[in-house]
Amino acid sequence: MENSKAIIIGSVIIALAILISGNIIEIKGLTGKLGSGTPVASSTPQVGGAQVAKNEAEIVVNLKTEAKKLNLDQDKFDKCLDSGDKASLVKADMDDGSKVGINGTPGFFVNGRILEGAVPYAQFKTIIDEELNGTAPVNTTRETVGVGNLPVKGNANAAVTLIEFSDYECPFCERHFTQTESQINKDYVDTGKVKFYYRDFPLSSIHPGAEKAAEAARCAGDQNKYWEYHDALFENQSSIF
C-alpha cells in the first residue's frame, strides 16, 4: 500500500513538473522548486545566473507609458491607476475564479467546461465545435461561471461563451495570447460564433506587477480602450515587467 501511494505521488509530481516546465500552466502561489530539483518556470530574465525583475514602481511607470502610446488622456489614466480604485474589481474576479476551481493561469471555461493551461488550439476547437454542433458528451461537467464586468469581445448573442482567467505577467498566458488566441478570434470570435470575456487572476505572490497591470487595463477601459490596452500588455510583456 505504501509503495502504491509513493508511486501515485511521484506520478503527480512528474505530471505537474512537465506542465509547468513545458509552459502549460502556472500555479497560484508556487515559487522556488517543485519536488526534488525541478525548477519552476519564471517570467523574469536571467542575468549572470540570477533572476532580475522590475519592482512595482518601475512597472507602474511602464504601464503609464503604454497608456501614452495609445493616446489615452494621461492625467485621467494616471489618477485612476494611482488611486487603486480598480483593485476591488480585480479582487472580485479572483474570488469568482477561486470558487470555480481556478488555481493557476491561464484557465478557461467554454460554456462552463474547464480547460486548464496554455493548451493547443486544437483542444479549444474540439470543445467549441462540440458546443456549436450540440455534440458534447451527455455527462459533460459544467461550472456556472460569471462573465465579470469587462467588455465582451465578439457577438454578445453568440451561442458559445469563452471566459479566460489570466495574469498579464504570466509567461504561459502570454504564450496563449501569442500562439492560440489569434486563431480563436479569427475562426470563432470574429465570425460571431463565440463571445469572449477576460477576467483577472493576477498571481501577485510571484508577479509583482500583475495586480497593477490588471487595474491599468480597467483604467484604459474607462476611456474605451480596454482591449487595445489588454493586447499591448501581452505584446510588450517582457519590456513592461
User: 65 and 17 share a domain?
Assistant: no
- β-pairing, 194-200 vs 160-166, is parallel
Q: What CATH code is carried by the domain that includes residue 211?
A: 3.40.30.10
User: 155 and 44 share a domain?
Assistant: no
Helices and strands: H and E segment counts in the chain:
10, 10
User: 44 and 66 share a domain?
Assistant: no
Q: Report how far apart the first and last C-alpha atoms of the chain are (Å, whole number).
A: 47
User: 123 and 204 share a domain?
Assistant: yes
Sheet bearing 107-110, strands edge to edge: 113-116, 107-110, 160-166, 194-200
User: 155 and 82 share a domain?
Assistant: yes
**Nearest to 60, CA basis, from 77, 42, 43:** 77
Taking only the tens of pLDDT, the chain with its 241 residues reads 444 444 444 444 444 444 544 445 576 654 332 222 222 333 444 444 444 678 989 999 999 999 999 999 999 999 999 999 999 999 999 999 999 999 999 999 999 999 999 999 999 999 999 999 999 999 999 999 999 999 999 999 999 999 999 999 999 999 999 999 999 999 999 999 999 999 999 999 999 999 999 999 999 999 999 999 999 999 999 999 9
The predicted pLDDT at position 54 comes to 87
Q: Angle at Cα 103 formed by Cα 102 and Cα 106, nearest 5°?
A: 70
The string of pLDDT tens digits covering residues 192-223 is 999 999 999 999 999 999 999 999 999 999 99
Range of the domain at 132: 56-240
User: 29 and 46 share a domain?
Assistant: yes
Question: Could you give the CA distance from residue 77 to residue 83 in angstroms, rounded to a whole number?
Answer: 10
Grid cell digits, residue 12:
503527480
The string of pLDDT tens digits covering residues 6-20 is 444 444 444 444 454
Contacting residues for 12 by C-beta, under 8 A, at least 6 apart: none
Residue type, position 126, single letter: T
User: 94 and 193 share a domain?
Assistant: yes
The predicted pLDDT at position 166 comes to 98
User: 33 and 111 share a domain?
Assistant: no
- Cβ count within 10 A of residue 17: 18
User: 10 and 24 share a domain?
Assistant: yes
**Nearest to 213, CA basis, from 90, 39, 45, 75:** 90
User: 15 and 108 share a domain?
Assistant: no
User: 200 and 222 share a domain?
Assistant: yes
pTM over 0.85: no
User: 121 and 207 share a domain?
Assistant: yes
Burial class of residue 36 in the structure, from the number of CB atoms within 10 Å of its CB (0-12 exposed, 13-18 middle, 19+ buried): exposed
Last residue of a domain, one of 33, 51, 69: 51
Domain count, the chain: 2
The predicted pLDDT at position 175 comes to 96
